[in-house]
Amino acid sequence: MFHRLQILVHRKFRILAFASFLLTFLIHMLLGLVPTVHRTSDDSCPCPPMAELFPLGKNHHRLQAQHRKQTLRVLQDFSGSNGSAQKTSQSLEQIVDTRETSWQVPGNSEAGRERGTLKTVNYTGSKLTALFKHPLYLIPTPPLADGDRLFTVNSKERFTLKSSGSEEWVQAGEKFILPTGDTTYDTYPTWLKFHIGINRYELYSRQDSLIPQLLKELCTQKIIATVQKPGGTQLKLVMSLQNFGQALFKPMKQSRYEETPADFFYFSDFERHNAEIAAFHLDRILDFRRIPPVAGRLINMTKEIRDITTDKKLAKTFYISPANNVCFYGECSYYCSTEHALCGQPDQIEGSMAAFLPDTTLAKRQSWRSPWRRSYHKSKKAEWEMNSDYCVHVKKTPPYDHGTRLLDLIDMSILDFLMGNLDRHHYETFETFQNDTFLLHLDNGRGFGRHSQDELSILAPLHQCCRIKKLTYLRLQLLATETYRLSDIMRESMAKDVLAPILAEPHLAALDRRLRIILHIVQECLRKEGDKNVLGSTDTNSQGT
């Protein structure tokens, strides 16, 4: 009896020991399968790992990024094509050999869609402030001589309602408060001071304290009249403000988190309100200062458009949607129909407010056709797309045969490449300054459409001419450093806008990637042509600075 009991106890012990070993093994297996959890610095909550990065493939034009499902948009019949937007020529593709790089861009993640969830940047102080205090941003402009200012101001003339020529804006019951001050200049509204400050070398100065005030007024001043801007392919509104200034309003047509579909031609793309805002900030950060100030604004479509417009054609296009939202579509060449109506939530809509330049009756502007204009034709390509020596011809053609006009045009192509804007067919200058002045970078709404594609053909002027302003090159190098990273500077600059975030994070990542591409092309030019032939003059007495 005792022997049987002893055998039973030993048998149960072996079973328990085996079960314990099996349980321990299973626990270790389960722990190995559990993903690592990242925690914040205060260890208060677990955070998901960083979103997967999508590396650039061998063909630089195609990133393996996930595309969000796009809203269906009916394409119009255009008398042009993407003939000039085909994949960049083989010679251009060879400039940036992606095998030698490890550039990456985040996919179009759902994260960070809500306002206030901007990607955090680990640095102390303001990178934007530090940038504008850098020696490269403190180089003075040439002293202004007679004829270098756009306007000559009568020092005895005070700004009054009568002198403004805006009596027709006054409505019954409205009260207008005009600026007052000790000097005549104090009586001028901010927009007029902005106009007075325009000169041969710049649209506004680097440290101009008027710009923050002007941006604030664009998004806060009471709107007293709204009409549709005539012409153009898409709807734009001219809004008159209480201080007698005017702004060009472009309503939101596409979410900032949507990419332009790959099958869209560059000339059939929407004009994005956030692109106009971002273009102003980018232009300022590059120290070009050739885009008029632009700010975001949330508009009440009922009170600030429909109820105050004198444009009967515009008023007739308002309606209430089945979702009980206020909608309108206006009249224009293409995207003005019920299929492309602009609807509020229920009557609030985002948009960009761009400060007006002086009226052309006071300051005439000359429009110039870009030598690198795209064909806008279904089957034909532009000459520059077929002739790698095209720049040789441009250099011999006025006004590109002297001065800094060609270098200014290359500056503009750099700006457009960073934004991904293929639609730069013309540019303007103030006529009074003739050929020796800066170029106006207007109509930037078709930028920032695709963060997953870098269209190298935009850089054809830089690649074919192998020329760049020395100061532009030095500033680009500065913005490629960790301390002054372009994406961080842009994020900080745009964070002050009332509609922030202005750009989705993948677009900011694309800025850094495209900046490296530009620097790579310049370095190749320097290697082939030498500093003297590539870098333009930095003489502060010339407009080439």
Coil, strand, or helix at residue 152? coil
Instruction: Assess if residue 200 is contained within a domain.
Output: no
Mean pLDDT for 309-323 is 94
Instruction: Please state the pTM of the whole predicted model.
Output: 0.75
pLDDT at 77 over 80: no
Instruction: Assess if residue 439 is contained within a domain.
Output: yes
In this structure, the answer to whether residues 423 and 487 fall within a common structural domain is yes
Give the C-alpha distances (Å, rounded to integers) separating 281 from 274, 289, 293, 358, 479.
11, 9, 9, 21, 14
Identify the CA nearest to 277 among candidates 490, 516, 510: 490
Identify the CA nearest to 420 among candidates 455, 445, 385, 452: 455
Distance CA 86, CA 493 (A): 34
In this structure, the answer to whether residues 405 and 487 fall within a common structural domain is yes
Residue 509: per-residue pLDDT: 97
Banded model confidence at residue 436, pLDDT cuts 50, 70, 90: very high
Q: Which residue has the higher pLDDT, 396 or 259?
A: 396
Written as six digits, the tokens of 28 are: 């270790």
Phi, psi (degrees; rounded to nearest 5) at 430: -75, 125
pLDDT at 378 over 50: yes
Which H/E stretch holds residue 319?
strand 319-320
pLDDT at 214 over 90: yes
Written as six digits, the tokens of 197 are: 């400050």
The residue written with tokens 């060449």 in the block is 333
Tell how strand 246-251 and strand 348-355 pair up: antiparallel
Give the C-alpha distances (Å, rounded to integers) separating 538 from 375, 441, 532.
34, 22, 12
Banded model confidence at residue 337, pLDDT cuts 50, 70, 90: confident
pLDDT at 479 over 80: yes
Distance CA 266, CA 93 (A): 20
Q: What is the mean pLDDT of the chain?
A: 78
Among residues 283, 408, 411, 423, the one annotated as catalytic is 423
Mean pLDDT for 397-407 is 95
Domain containing 461: what range? Answer: 85-143+364-544
Residue 232: per-residue pLDDT: 74
pLDDT at 11 over 90: no
In this structure, the answer to whether residues 454 and 375 fall within a common structural domain is yes
Distance CA 341, CA 317 (A): 9
Residue 94: per-residue pLDDT: 42
Written as six digits, the tokens of 454 are: 């870098």
In this structure, the answer to whether residues 134 and 175 fall within a common structural domain is no
Longest dimension (CA), the chain: 126
Instruction: Assess if residue 80 is contained within a domain.
Output: no
Identify the CA nearest to 179 among candidates 193, 165, 197, 167: 193
In this structure, the answer to whether residues 119 and 48 fall within a common structural domain is no
Residue 536: per-residue pLDDT: 83
| Residue 234 annotated as part of some ligand binding site | yes
Which H/E stretch holds residue 354?
strand 348-355
Cα torsion 68, 73, 76, 80 to 10°: value is -10
| Residue 428 annotated as part of some ligand binding site | yes
Distance CA 415, CA 448 (A): 11
Domain stops at, among 129, 162, 184:
184
Instruction: Assess if residue 515 is contained within a domain.
Output: yes
Residue 300: per-residue pLDDT: 97
In this structure, the answer to whether residues 15 and 92 fall within a common structural domain is no
Distance CA 85, CA 90 (A): 14
In this structure, the answer to whether residues 1 and 134 fall within a common structural domain is no
In this structure, the answer to whether residues 418 and 530 fall within a common structural domain is yes
Distance CA 182, CA 164 (A): 19
| Residue 359 annotated as part of some ligand binding site | no
| Residue 504 annotated as part of some ligand binding site | no
pLDDT at 538 over 60: no
Instruction: Assess if residue 219 is contained within a domain.
Output: no
Residue 30: per-residue pLDDT: 59
Q: How many domains does the chain have?
A: 2
| Residue 21 annotated as part of some ligand binding site | no
Burial class (CB in 10 A: 0-12, 13-18, 19+), 256: buried
Active site residue 423: yes
In this structure, the answer to whether residues 385 and 462 fall within a common structural domain is yes
Q: Which residue has the higher pLDDT, 337 or 239?
A: 239
pLDDT at 485 over 90: yes
Instruction: Assess if residue 523 is contained within a domain.
Output: yes
Residues of the chain with pLDDT > 70, as a percent, come to: 68
Instruction: Assess if residue 130 is contained within a domain.
Output: yes
Residue 444: per-residue pLDDT: 95
Three-state SS across 196-262?
A: HCCECCCCCCCCCCHHHHHHHHHHHCCEEEEEECCCCCCCCEEEEECCCCEEEEEECCCCCCCCCCC
| Residue 250 annotated as part of some ligand binding site | yes
Three-state SS across 261-281?
A: CCCCCHHHCCCCHHHHHHHHH
Residue 380: per-residue pLDDT: 80
In this structure, the answer to whether residues 3 and 136 fall within a common structural domain is no
Distance CA 398, CA 395 (A): 8
Instruction: Assess if residue 114 is contained within a domain.
Output: yes
Tens-place pLDDT, residues 490-506: 999 999 999 999 999 99
In this structure, the answer to whether residues 137 and 174 fall within a common structural domain is no
Written as six digits, the tokens of 42 are: 């205060």
Distance CA 61, CA 92 (A): 11
Residue 545: per-residue pLDDT: 43
Tens-place pLDDT, residues 249-292: 999 988 888 877 665 655 566 789 999 999 999 999 999 999 99
In this structure, the answer to whether residues 416 and 507 fall within a common structural domain is yes
Banded model confidence at residue 199, pLDDT cuts 50, 70, 90: very high
On whether the CB atoms of residues 451 and 507 are closer than 8 A, the answer is: yes
Report which residue type is found at 404: T
Give the C-alpha distances (Å, rounded to integers) separating 390 from 385, 457, 461, 463.
9, 13, 9, 11
- Other CB atoms within 10 A of residue 238 CB: 16
- Other CB atoms within 10 A of residue 413 CB: 23
